[in-house]
């Protein structure tokens, strides 16, 4: 008898769980899945005018946007920097796009998006999609004088993807290695046998220039000497 009641209890629990997980019909789930698949994120750096200490200035901010958000869904956004939770609904949208600003540009941030069904559906508050988006972070070294000659170098970009915090000494060493052709544009070491012709020219440009000038000087002297000999004869 005890086993029978245990079986009934398990069966009852299973039925409750099944009903709770199946508030939407199969047809509704297919329709909602198709709509949720269109919901995406977008990260865009924009300039914002701010007023501080009686002065106007422009600062960079991230526009974090959720695209194609309809009234059947809402999106909860969290991040790896703080405990803030941002909920975006169709009431926050303009042309099916909902956005918020992020001003901590000195950190590499990962945003986690969870797409829930809203009360406009037969199965509210169910997660139908999850995705992430990661920002770049502001690079303090980008304004240094040494970067003016090598703006293409990754560590001289205004915004970089790396989370590694280099000291100024380490940064300058990387710049020196790049100028010597020891590392590539992304900071990866270049093997000796894989160095491009351009890297070799960069590394040995003064030696090559000296040899070239010496050769031209020698040719010039020889030509003058031959002309002189020709005139004598």
pLDDT tens-digit map of 34-43 = 999 999 999 9
Indicate whether 171 pLDDT > 80: yes
34-43, 49-58, 120-129, 199-208 — which is least confidently predicted?
A: 199-208
Task: State pTM to two decimals.
Answer: 0.68
- Where does the pLDDT of residue 132 fall: very low under 50, low under 70, confident under 90, or very high at 90 and above? very high
User: Any long-range contacts for 154-163 (C-beta under 8 Å, 24+ apart)?
Assistant: 154/185, 154/186, 154/187, 155/187, 159/45, 159/105, 160/136, 161/108, 161/134, 161/136, 161/137, 162/108, 163/108, 163/137
What does the buried/exposed string (b/e) look like for 27-42 if buried means 16 or more CB atoms within 10 Å of the residue's CB? eebeebeebbeebeee
Name the percent of the chain lying above pLDDT 70. Answer: 77
């Amino acid at each position: 008898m005890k086993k029978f009641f245990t079986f009934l209890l398990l069966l009852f629990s299973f039925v409750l769980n099944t009903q709770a997980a199946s508030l939407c019909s199969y047809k509704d789930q297919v329709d909602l899945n198709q709509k949720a698949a269109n919901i995406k994120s977008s990260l865009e750096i924009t300039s914002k005018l701010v007023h501080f200490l009686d002065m106007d200035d422009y600062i960079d901010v991230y526009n974090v946007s959720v695209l194609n958000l309809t009234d059947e869904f809402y999106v909860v956004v969290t991040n790896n920097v703080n405990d803030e939770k941002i909920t975006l609904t169709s009431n926050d949208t303009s042309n099916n796009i909902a956005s918020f600003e992020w001003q901590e540009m000195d950190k590499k941030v990962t945003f986690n998006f969870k797409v829930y069904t809203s009360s406009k559906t037969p199965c509210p508050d169910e997660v139908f999609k999850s995705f992430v988006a990661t920002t770049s972070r502001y690079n303090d070294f980008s304004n240094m004088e040494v970067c003016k000659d090598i703006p293409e170098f990754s560590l001289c970009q205004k915004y970089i993807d790396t989370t590694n915090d280099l000291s100024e000494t380490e940064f300058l060493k990387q710049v020196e290695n790049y100028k010597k052709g020891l590392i590539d544009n992304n900071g990866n070491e270049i093997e000796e046998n894989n160095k491009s012709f351009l890297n070799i020219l960069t590394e040995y440009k003064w030696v090559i220039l000296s040899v070239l000038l010496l050769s031209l000087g020698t040719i010039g002297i020889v030509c003058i000497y031959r002309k002189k000999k020709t005139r004598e004869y």
